[in-house]
Amino acid sequence: MAGRAVRAVSRTHNAIVDVMAAIAMASLAAMAVMVAAHVVMRATIGAGVRGVNELSQYLLVALVYAGLAAALRDGSFIRVHLLIGQLGTRVQSWMIRLVAVVSLGFMGVLTWRSSAFAFESWRRGTESIGVLEAPLWIPQSIVAIGSVALTVQLVAILINPVNHLVGKGVVADESPGTIRTDKWHPS
């Protein structure tokens, strides 16, 4: 019964992470299109698109924070395989857990403070001082939501660090994500 509940939570979390990864990719595409349009307009008519710089900054925040959990799940973060790969699987497992615990502490504070900051901005109706005068709670919420998703992914590593081992043939041809239940590869 508990295994079924864990799988249901895993599927739900993976679906959320997949949506967030799509948001990250869409943010990158939107940034590219906006900047290209801005450059073309400045070169042809001498005036760019108003607010492109500000909106690009918000999209960069969305790109980074919406993609964090997917990057960890899919093994896209950079790590020093040269050192870690030389360790035994038991030592690797404990090192992975140690890094996850330290990261959880950091992400817990970031999640807490970014959530409080976004809520306060929403409550006060704080807007940017740029051309767009955009409500600041929107990009701040993306930071908070991305932080929550990464925190859940770190908890999954604590539960099952084996999927993050390096070398030793432990995860041959399998997604390095810890709570991914299917064999889907975003390639």
How is the chain split into domains, by residue range? 2-164
The answer, yes or no, to whether residue 172 has pLDDT greater than 80, is: no
How many Cβ atoms sit within 10 Å of the Cβ of residue 80? 8
- Which of these, 72, 62, 61, 60, lies nearest to 14 by C-alpha position? 72
Six token digits for residue 112: 């807490």
| Nearest by Cα to 21 from 147, 146, 114, 166 | 146
Q: If you average pLDDT over residues 130-145, what whole number do you get?
A: 93
Helix axes 52-73, 137-159, angle to 10 degrees: 10
Tell me whether residue 62 is exposed, middle or buried, using C-beta atoms within 10 angstroms of its C-beta: 0 to 12, 13 to 18, 19 or more: buried
The reported pLDDT for the residue numbered 18 is 92
Predicted confidence at residue 164, as pLDDT, reads 58
pTM over cut 0.85: no
